[in-house]
Structure 1
């Protein structure tokens, strides 16, 4: 086995495989994720190449935010072209992010074990193949995603964007490698001067694709309008279902309250979102729901179906409402809009939404992906013979104890988070650590080895729930650096003037 090659250092070459990029007409959330992370990797000094398909009229090679984009083949042949490209350049590649959008690139066939590969899965596509392909292509696609993945990737590290996606990867695909959540980031959206509409307004952003099920929203609107006559819906996006939805709007007599805007630029999208009372997502399949958290960053709560991903991005009754069945959609929309009529209630929802969305940053996502590549490289060199375990444990401790921990002794798959600094009481800051693959006994034993008191009055340890896997600031391990001086500074008692002592 060759020595370690990847540490996320300057000059190391990372290849990101994805069958679309931002210039593809069908680009969406997965492409936003890719470009946000790769741009930050390039800014940190890494050499990054995106390998993707080439839609009509697109350049073969271009540069986006310091990242080289190489386009080859169409939506089907790109996988073969990419494998040949990887095979020719395998000695110049230090790490690979292999995106599985239903069909993976099977990059290990070209680079073997000498290059760390992390498989990125936004969501499972088993139910979507029948929506896009006929027999036998749909069956072949399902087999490749389910069986082909297991054969080629084996125990390679898998990154998913939500706890729901992790469950699907295990339950539906049966993949056996370690699975870690690398949630979507969220760029803060600012729309100065925009106020919410006077009339109850629902603003939705998304492709008009079959799996988005916008027909469910439209069919609910006549019942909503019975109690809220002035309600209006604005749907931003385009796609293959536009004609069907236009016909359904006419059939339901919704032409005076539903507007299909098509694709709009970012400024117009943000302005429309900021004017809304509510956003809605009726998708059957989502890895996360980036459009939903974008709306939340503007203070707009969401009503979503309890689909994988969406039930993670929305905190039920805190940042929105998660609807168990489509039949309940009309009732929930009606009650939500009635509740949001009260400006004070709407302001409370907005504060909770913005606080939740603010926990997700693209810097944290980039740190997580880079750390997972480094962890996979460590496994490649020195095989971790412990059984793969999806358990994780949260340790919550006061900052004075965190200041004694050398976080570089933890693993790259572990994560760290802390509350914002309170200048009136620095000692109130608490630090959380997520220990992957640990149960409570393991976590307590680790704390003892680190010299940390586990007094239950000050240090709390519990098995991580799905919501606990989201919203972490940075990776532990070598990439964390020495956080002890930073936390020690937070331990200083406040001066009488309200400022920190030094």
Structure 2
């Protein structure tokens, strides 16, 4: 009989707001589905099936962000005898498994801490509440095993009481093979920078726009592309006021595009801008590198890992639009350094593949699944 994994998360791969964490989870799980029975529980969403079998994984969707927590606990109690391991994926939301799952049968999976993002993305008093309770909520898990995706998050875990031996870092992956150099697209004739992602202050689009405005003073022909869900209200209220009217036409908001067009534009751009304040990794950094384009990032958790601390991308000296514009200027003016960084990023991207991620997860499972006679211990 196959070992049974119960995976708990706030979103699944089909969720309308699924992002890099959900892609990582699905790609990792489907690569071990032949040898493990996998049940994934997350909240329901409009248009989603209550139960869906996808790539060997049974996705169960129930309730809301709040009500799915007791549902997951009841599901575990009902099936505890057949469940070998429960993985609680914490992404702001959590399932508090240390309160009801024995230590030997559970693991934490976390891409990133939230920290300062609470103040940027959440209204008061919820921002204060989330920020003040994040550490004690995560410390509930400190006596158990933990999975994460970067050294930055591993360091954060150790800072709140996890030991190095408890933490396993799973490598990031790509769902396509890095392009051969002769397949790279020619760069645009004028300096062209690209942002890919959500329109959110913590993701850095505001800073990216301001940096572009600064750059335009010195390079008037420069262009800026934005790919991702277009939020007209956010553009009008938050972004347009940052841009002089006479240069707004040099910024193009493409909205969602196909995966093929995204990679093509990545390859044509001078550099990708990803000035987020905190990430688990930053998958688009690796995607851009795989098609011959470096990324400019802030020295922030996750992103510093994705660019190998500036060796496989540009990392600013400060988290500000001015510092971002300085690195954009370097991309244009220092062509020798640009080529060095570009190729270093490409070589790093060649080491990333979901098969590698899946194999690391499989190795961890084979070492960590509890024996049937393990004594039950909780927190």
TM-score range, shorter chain: 0.7 to 0.9
Q: Does the residue aligned with 1:202 lie in a helix, a strand or coil?
A: strand
Asked if 1 retains the 8 angstrom alpha-carbon contact of 2:142 and 2:161, the reply is no
Asked if 2 retains the 8 angstrom alpha-carbon contact of 1:52 and 1:70, the reply is yes
Confirm whether residue 142 of structure 1 aligns to residue 137 of structure 2.
no
Cα distance in 1 for partners of 2:269, 2:58 equals 38
From 16, 27, 35, the counterpart of 2:7: 16
Cα distance in 2 for partners of 1:335, 1:107 equals 48
Asked if 2 retains the 8 angstrom alpha-carbon contact of 1:121 and 1:158, the reply is yes
Cα distance in 2 for partners of 1:86, 1:282 equals 40
Asked if 1 retains the 8 angstrom alpha-carbon contact of 2:173 and 2:356, the reply is yes
From 186, 203, 216, the counterpart of 1:212: 203
Q: Does the residue aligned with 1:180 lie in a helix, a strand or coil?
A: strand
Confirm whether residue 33 of structure 1 aligns to residue 24 of structure 2.
yes
Q: Does the residue aligned with 2:49 lie in a helix, a strand or coil?
A: coil
Asked if 2 retains the 8 angstrom alpha-carbon contact of 1:15 and 1:49, the reply is yes
Aligned to 2:58: 68
Q: Does the residue aligned with 1:238 lie in a helix, a strand or coil?
A: coil
Q: 1:28 Cα shift?
A: 0.8
From 294, 314, 323, the counterpart of 1:328: 323
Asked if 1 retains the 8 angstrom alpha-carbon contact of 2:272 and 2:288, the reply is yes
Cα distance in 2 for partners of 1:331, 1:125 equals 28
Cα distance in 2 for partners of 1:373, 1:145 equals 27
Aligned to 1:361: 353
Q: Does the residue aligned with 2:334 lie in a helix, a strand or coil?
A: helix
Q: 1:285 to 1:354 in 2, by over 3 A?
A: same
Q: Does the residue aligned with 1:255 lie in a helix, a strand or coil?
A: helix
Aligned to 2:270: 277
Q: 1:131 Cα shift?
A: 3.3
Kindly report the root-mean-square deviation, in angstroms, between the aligned alpha carbons of the 2 structures: 2.7
Q: 1:212 to 1:193 in 2, by over 3 A?
A: closer
Aligned to 2:92: 102
Confirm whether residue 235 of structure 1 aligns to residue 216 of structure 2.
no
Aligned to 2:304: 311
Confirm whether residue 181 of structure 1 aligns to residue 169 of structure 2.
yes
Residues 210-240 of structure 1 show CA distances to partners (whole Å, capped at 9, x for unaligned) of 2112111111112212222221111111276
Q: 1:205 Cα shift?
A: 1.3
Larger Cα-atom Rg:
1
Asked if 2 retains the 8 angstrom alpha-carbon contact of 1:279 and 1:300, the reply is yes
Asked if 2 retains the 8 angstrom alpha-carbon contact of 1:90 and 1:110, the reply is no
Aligned to 2:291: 298
Aligned to 2:113: 124
Cα distance in 1 for partners of 2:2, 2:371 equals 22
Structure 2 gap segments, 5+ residues each: none
Asked if 2 retains the 8 angstrom alpha-carbon contact of 1:104 and 1:145, the reply is no
Aligned to 1:196: 187
Aligned to 2:261: 268
Q: Does the residue aligned with 1:254 lie in a helix, a strand or coil?
A: helix
Residues 237-278 of structure 1 show CA distances to partners (whole Å, capped at 9, x for unaligned) of 127644444423554643122112222221221121121121
Asked if 1 retains the 8 angstrom alpha-carbon contact of 2:38 and 2:57, the reply is yes
Residues 363-397 of structure 1 show CA distances to partners (whole Å, capped at 9, x for unaligned) of 222222233344443599779xxxxxxxxxxxxxx
Cα distance in 2 for partners of 1:212, 1:305 equals 11
Structure 1 gap segments, 5+ residues each: 1-9, 384-502
The TM-score, its normalising length taken from structure 2, stands at 0.87
Asked if 1 retains the 8 angstrom alpha-carbon contact of 2:230 and 2:256, the reply is no
Asked if 2 retains the 8 angstrom alpha-carbon contact of 1:103 and 1:141, the reply is no
Q: Does the residue aligned with 2:249 lie in a helix, a strand or coil?
A: coil
Aligned to 1:337: 332
Confirm whether residue 166 of structure 1 aligns to residue 166 of structure 2.
no
